[in-house]
Copies of this chain bind each other. A is one copy, B any other.
């Protein structure tokens, strides 16, 4: 397939039909009418606005959603603002026939699904740029900036870029992904003109990458000094002190660069539509043969905002990984998964599940006074001591060698840096190894099953065969 053909086909995947579009506009129109009624006469509320991809015409087909912002006067206290947006949001969603849900990002907001469209009702303060009072105050300026600059046709280029990033697994600024936000894709299209020019440039990126559309900074050096240790720096045109790409991890950036390189050298629709195999239990068993896994599986006792939960999972994953390495295991890879409401899984691939029973312990050089203490300490308790070159050595005997048992003991002794919010859950979790017992946990859970499959395959979607 040539590039043009691929892009034509890809556009069919990512671009909404006229019907999709009018459905979305209808739902938005209805919600806006309801909300205008709700806020009329309420003290401190200045108006509403449509934000996000619906406002900018950059949403991807099948991902119809609308962010409606309620603008508050800057003198309204934070708690009053939060109370009011919840109150109004709940009433409005109900009136439209939906089931309101309280959500939480930087501050609380209300979500509902109306005719298949996700509606988020969000609060912000009406402030001038750089006088931000809350994290959502920039959004109306982002929307305005993009709408004013996107030329006709560039909306579809944004859609292609988003679709490519979704297919490659790098789309989404949430902690679960640590990838690219919608606003970031729009800025990339503004900067490079169109989709193909973005990926052609990205194919040759060597991080750190710096993009300063408005030319706020004099030099790359200055930017790198200010945004230290950030692999991708895209200066926010609306706030020069902010990096729009601060959530992008080096891993996800690298995946995007590699996907871009592979796509430009060999364009294929598969980058937009990765084949997802549904593995049988036999497949999983084959894939896991002679490999060593340790996993931690537990059920949540309370619902929390996804970004909070994912942050706790990722921190705990890192803590367990470090504990296993301290114990003497090599951790080849690790990952976390949750359905965000009920089940959580941390999984680790190790070099071995059992450490050697004896381990070499190097003592002091024989000319030090401590040599005698070393001999007294270990005599009868270890193999040795013997002398090699100028030092004493013994072979220490481990009382326990099994990864699961050792990790459980470390957890009991509070020696593992796990997130406080998950500490008791992880201590009482099912900690085990072996693919069979893991498959047991994923019975009737296709999302978990496909995560396990992806972990066993250990390839990003664009490298799957």
Binding site for B on A (CB under 8 A): 204-207, 231, 250-251, 254-255, 257-258, 261-262, 265, 290-292, 330, 332-333, 349, 351-352, 356-360, 366-367, 371-372, 375, 379-380, 383-391, 393, 395, 397, 457-460, 463, 465
Contact = CB atoms under 8 A, between A and B. Distances in A.
A292 B380 contact: no
How many copies, total? Answer: 2
7 contacts: A262-B372, A332-B360, A332-B395, A379-B465, A380-B465, A384-B459, A386-B459
The 7 closest A-B pairs by CB, nearest first: A290-B357, A206-B367, A351-B356, A384-B458, A254-B366, A258-B366, A386-B458
Contact of A371 (B258, B386, B389): B258
A260 B379 CA distance: 18
Nearest to A258: B366
Contacts of A255: 387
A351 B354 CA distance: 12
Contact of A251 (B351, B371, B387): B387
Contact of A389 (B205, B251, B292): B251
Contacts of A375: 463
A384 to B, nearest CB: 5
Given A290-B357, A291-B358, A379-B465, A257 B366 contact: yes
A460 B207 contact: no
Nearest to A384: B458
Contacts of A457: 383
Contacts of A290: 357-358, 397
B367 A207 contact: yes
A325 to B, nearest CB: 13
A359 B349 CA distance: 11
A386 B257 contact: no
A136 to B, nearest CB: 32
A240 to B, nearest CB: 27
Contacts of A384: 458-459
Most buried by B among A206, A366, A372: A366
A264 to B, nearest CB: 12
Contacts of A383: 291, 457-458
